[in-house]
Chain A
Amino acid sequence: MNAPIPNLSKRQIGARVQRFEDTRLMSGAAKYIADITLPDMLHLSFVRSQVAHAKILEVDTSMLEDLDYPVQVFTGKDTDGLSLKANQDLPGVQRSEQPLLALDRLRFVGDPAAVVLADDPYLAEDAAELVFIDFDPLPVVATMEQALAEDTTPLFDGWTGNKFVERQMKGGDLEAARAQAAHVIRRTYRNQRQTGVPMEGRGVIADYDKGTRVLTLWSSTQMPHLVRTYICEELGLPESRIRVIAPDVGGGFGVKGQVFADEVLIAWLAIQTGRPVKWVEDRRENLIASIHARDHEHTLEAYVSAEGRLLGLKADISTDVGAYSTFPFTAGGDPGMAAKVMPGPYDFQAYEATFRALATNKCPLGTYRGVGRPSAVFSQERLMDVIAQEIGMDPIEFRLKNVVKEFPYKNVLGFTYDPGSYEESLLKMRELLAEDIKAAEASKASPDSRIGVGIACFIEQTAHGTGDFTKRRSPIETGYISARVEMSTDGEVLIGLGLQSHGQGLETTCAQVAADALGVGPQRVFVRHGDTLTSPYSVGTWGSRGGPLGGGAVHIAANKIADKLRLIAAHILQVADPATIQLDENRASVIGDPARFVPIPELARAALRNVDRLPEGMTPGLTEEFSLDGPKDGTYANAVHAAIVEIDVKTGKMKLRRFVVVEDCGTILNPMIVDGQVRGGVVQGIGSAIMEHMIYDEEGQPLTTTFADYLMPLATEMPEIDVHHIETPTPLTPLGAKGLGEGGAIGPPAAIANAVANALGVEVEATPLNAQAIWRLAKATRSEG
């Protein structure tokens, strides 16, 4: 906590460097899974369950025999014994397995029961239609209520009921808080099920080379090393002979931040068939059978003093996590995150949360930008507005009274918050909203159109390290990121980054970081990523750690090379103290005497080719590697979001007039990229708040299976997003950076719900706030008019 904040030159770090990857991405030169073709490749089509819950009697493949083209078919019986296992080793957890192909039971619409392989993807899809799954229906568990019912049908043999997990977190004396409270306020809040929708769906290609016994797997994944390790363990292959490549990945958002059963299956199929096997997920598969998100219900009870101080909070958190536990974050990941972060930016000393992950016959729930936090912040920040209203305080004033002001701060669960700008960001937001608040007040007289202003104040634990993950006793285990930095004979720099950059701009920010350390221009730095062969072991891109930990690892490794360059330069220039050598503008020069210099490429050549020029005893080479773990409790980014809405009271049509963000992610590596990350996240958060909804009927049939029904935010509906920064560098990461990848998506549901409540003078308890929901909420307002 007391380590000094590094003195950064900031020549490149902090600059608005245009993204290097954009030239490739915007000109059609990017290469995605669908663009990769191997000789003699087989194409795979899944045969998926059309019912939510059933016992499999037989998978009938006999009709394939009549086809006039060759196909191969595999069912659950063929892959018996292979599965995806994602269990926490804790009391209160029921263990489960997801077979690579459904074995005896179908557990959701989209659950794969067989695969057909053919020489052409069209032929594979035609043939897949001819495979019939004969089944006996089982009672469908379609809701959390049904999962909790006494007579629920367990999804897994040997289970009692349908809870993957039920556990508690607590701190302080809740009874004492309740006894002291002047106000006890209890509410129930609900966020709908949705999905993540990367522009590119998932996709996998596997190729097994019998000669070298090397398996190469291309996957549109955020975590190539974890995919490699799981395949090694499940298929019993030496990990040294597995290479996982995530080529250009067209968005991930957490959806691709899990290891999937199909990745293991396709690897196995390539070995079985002796031919490369390719599968490209289509949009319907992506919507119904990839990864779903949110689907939380929370009941909160707050204990508040007469003076408006929050004394304690009790939370009951249920999440509908669908049919299987996902790897590596497990079924308990989302509700556990909500329970952990519910105390938020507020200073209070008594908390108790019960959280549970409920199994239902739906697509598995997994990580999606924000993971549990958007739902937690929705409940927490709705409740803060309700409390403020009940005790007659201004909502911003009430938050100002309760936010943490002194750092480091140990919260009620024992997590230590590093310095942030909670109070300052609220004050800044209040200033920015002055005109909007006036407009909202003026609109209250109108029977037709109401304006509302709502805020959400939150923190985000980012870049958390091994200490946070070992507590979960789940397969994630750790959270470190590694980088290898290598300078070649021409002075160009190659970075092998253990992250996968799929929109984060890491090819640019990591180049900026290395450029500052090595005194070369960022355009001389080539960042390779997403390939287990070109980078040291890392956990992948998730959990808002690319900048702070990936950038930090690059910074440390590059500085080791910089130190060596200075030693070589001092030797060549006959300077006693290498600390008097500076690396800048592609030269190593003597500080205060710039005419004495060696070009950096000359130093690189000395280290790698003309090694007779090295100081005596120095080993040749210019490659360094560093693995950077995150701080145990992470580093806490903070933000205040505000939504300004205008509602047509008669129809329920809501227009977002403006969205304002004040955020603090510590040291900003590239302000342009930070703004883009925030805006992109806000747009997804707006989708969560008002339209994205994965609807299932009572039989567990998904109803929103195309983009005609599953509504994504469109540019036409998006407001101006006004982003402001406060920079409080953290002492916990090498560059002072905190994570910011997810923050944008966390605040909008709460801010928009608070704005709707403000506009209409009603309580808002659920999302999505689509037109019909707003119309219902506006009923009272209409009858006034």
Chain B
Amino acid sequence: MRPAPFSYHKAERLDQALALLAEFGEDARPIAGGQSLVPMMNLRLARPSHLVDINALDLDTIELRSDHLHIGALVRHERYARESLIAQHFPAFAEGVEWIGHPTIRRRGTLGGSISHADPTAELPALCVLLGAEIIAQSAEGSRRIPAAEFFISAYVTSLEAGEMVTGIDLPLPKGKSSGAFEEFAERSGDFAIISAGVTLEHDGRAITDARVVWSGVDLAPVMAERAGDLLRGKPLSAPEAEAAAQAMSAGITPLDDPMASAEFRHSLIVELTQRALTRACEKAMQAS
């Protein structure tokens, strides 16, 4: 459990980092907290020949920018909980990130690292998809914005290209009244989820006007419940018929099947967690109204 040989480069500025990534292409990986990449390298499942240390880069801001909240790629997980802008605008995000790892992981691990690593049941990819985030990817050539739904392709596979790195995400601010909740099921606290379900609602104080639901553990990348909006629009916040909606939106879904959790067990968790997240999101909306 020692990594294959590699060269280490410390970048002081973004342009330096991007130049190094451009120079080494597929053979290079940026490294920040190392919470995913280092174990993968120690198991020799990842074998980058060049590591570009980006810890010194100025990419750790959280700020409101017109109609969205920007979170820099080097923001450590432990910061989300202290950020009132997140609690205020993105309750599902605030709940979801509480499930990330343990304190040591949250102290070092970064937003950009988790997203780029793209574990199939990590919280941040699911939250990005749920909240319609745009992932900002930069290379020596320039910058592009990738909708989260197109960014996560499969387990540990993203649409990032050689020479590109994530520099941050933009979360669009909800337009009207909104609410949200996140539920997760894992064997132990801090583990990657067996199933997680995130919900966001828009509402007018009495009824749901739109809804989004995301699941992880269904497939190798986060999955949006296609019919969530249609099923929930117009339902009263006081009695959203959560169980029936959760059943209906997960009908026909065939989740992953492995020794830890069968497809049948996962499906049952999808229904239960979706129902619980939906119920709590409605309760929060009622309290706020």
Contact = CB atoms under 8 A, between A and B. Distances in A.
A204 B222 CA distance: 45
A703 B87 CA distance: 39
B265 A122 contact: no
Interface string A707-749: 0110100101100000000000000000000000000000000
Nearest to A716: B189
Contacts, number: 56
Given A695-B259, A771-B185, A711 B1 contact: no
A651 interface: yes
Interface string A758-778: 000000000000111001100
Contact of B192 (A691, A708, A717): A708
Interface in A266-283: 282-283
A770 B1 contact: no
B189 A775 contact: no
A679 B217 CA distance: 35
A771 B43 contact: no
Nearest to A286: B1
B143 to A, nearest CB: 34
A772 B261 contact: yes
Contacts of A775: 265, 268
Query: Secondary structure of the A side of the interface?
Result: loop
Contacts of A771: 185, 187, 194, 261, 265
Interface in A542-564: none
Interface in B236-273: 259-262, 265, 268-269, 272-273
Interface in B18-48: 39, 43-44
B190 A121 contact: no
A282 B1 contact: yes
29 contacts: A121-B2, A126-B5, A129-B44, A282-B1, A284-B1, A284-B43, A651-B268, A651-B273, A652-B265, A653-B185, A691-B187, A703-B259, A706-B43, A708-B191, A711-B187, A711-B188, A711-B191, A714-B190, A716-B188, A716-B189, A717-B189, A770-B187, A771-B187, A771-B194, A771-B261, A771-B265, A772-B262, A772-B265, A775-B265
Contacts of B81: none
B155 interface: no
B188 A122 contact: no
B122 to A, nearest CB: 12
Given A770-B187, A772-B262, 5 more contacts: A129-B4, A650-B272, A709-B260, A772-B265, A776-B265
Sorted from nearest, which 8 A-B pairs have the closest CB atoms? Answer: A282-B1, A716-B189, A650-B272, A125-B2, A772-B265, A122-B2, A695-B259, A714-B188
Contacts of A716: 188-190
A772 B260 contact: yes
A651 B274 CA distance: 12
B85 to A, nearest CB: 29
A651 B268 CA distance: 8
A126 B265 CA distance: 42
Contacts of B192: 708
A782 B187 CA distance: 20
Interface of A: 121-122, 125-126, 129, 282-284, 650-653, 691, 695, 703, 706, 708-709, 711, 714, 716-717, 770-772, 775-776
A714 B4 CA distance: 31
B189 A651 contact: no
Contacts of A711: 187-188, 191
Interface string B106-146: 00000000000000000000000000000000000000000
A711 B187 CA distance: 8
Contacts of B260: 709, 770, 772
A714 B43 contact: no
Given A125-B2, A283-B1, A284-B1, A651 B272 contact: yes
Interface string B166-198: 000000000000000000010111111010000
Interface of B: 1-2, 4-5, 39, 43-44, 185, 187-192, 194, 259-262, 265, 268-269, 272-273
A282 B2 CA distance: 9
Interface SS of chain B? loop
Contacts of B43: 284, 706
Nearest to B1: A282
Contacts of A703: 259
Contacts of B268: 650-651, 775
Contacts of A714: 188-190
B51 to A, nearest CB: 15
A717 B188 contact: yes
B185 A651 contact: yes
A261 B10 CA distance: 44
Nearest to A648: B272
A46 to B, nearest CB: 12
A437 B187 CA distance: 26
Contacts of A282: 1-2
B190 A651 contact: no
Contacts of A717: 188-189
Contacts of B185: 651, 653, 771
A709 B272 CA distance: 24
Contacts of A650: 268, 272
A707 to B, nearest CB: 9
A282 B39 CA distance: 13
B277 to A, nearest CB: 13
B2 to A, nearest CB: 5
A45 to B, nearest CB: 9
Contacts of A706: 39, 43
Contacts of B5: 122, 126
A203 to B, nearest CB: 13
B234 to A, nearest CB: 27
A654 to B, nearest CB: 10
Contacts of B2: 121-122, 125, 282
Nearest to A782: B268
Nearest to B183: A651
Contacts of A129: 4, 44
A93 B269 CA distance: 48
Contacts of B261: 771-772
A595 B202 CA distance: 89
A651 B260 CA distance: 14
A652 B4 CA distance: 41
A283 B188 CA distance: 20
Nearest to B275: A650
Contacts of A651: 185, 268-269, 272-273
Contacts of A709: 260
Contacts of A652: 265
A764 B192 CA distance: 28
Nearest to A771: B187
A535 to B, nearest CB: 34
Contacts of B191: 708, 711
Contacts of B262: 772
A126 B1 contact: no
Contacts of A121: 2
Nearest to A690: B187
A121 B187 CA distance: 35
A126 B189 contact: no
A703 B260 CA distance: 10
B245 to A, nearest CB: 16
A677 B78 CA distance: 35
Contact of A126 (B4, B188, B194): B4
A440 B173 CA distance: 47
* Best-surrounded residue of B185, B192, B273 (most CB of chain A within 10 A): B185
Nearest to A770: B187
A89 B262 CA distance: 46
A709 B260 CA distance: 9
Nearest to A285: B1
Interface centre among A122, A651, A711 (most CB of B within 10 A): A651
A536 B265 CA distance: 57
A695 B261 CA distance: 13
Q: Which of B2, B44, B189, B190 counts the most chain A CB atoms within 10 A? A: B2
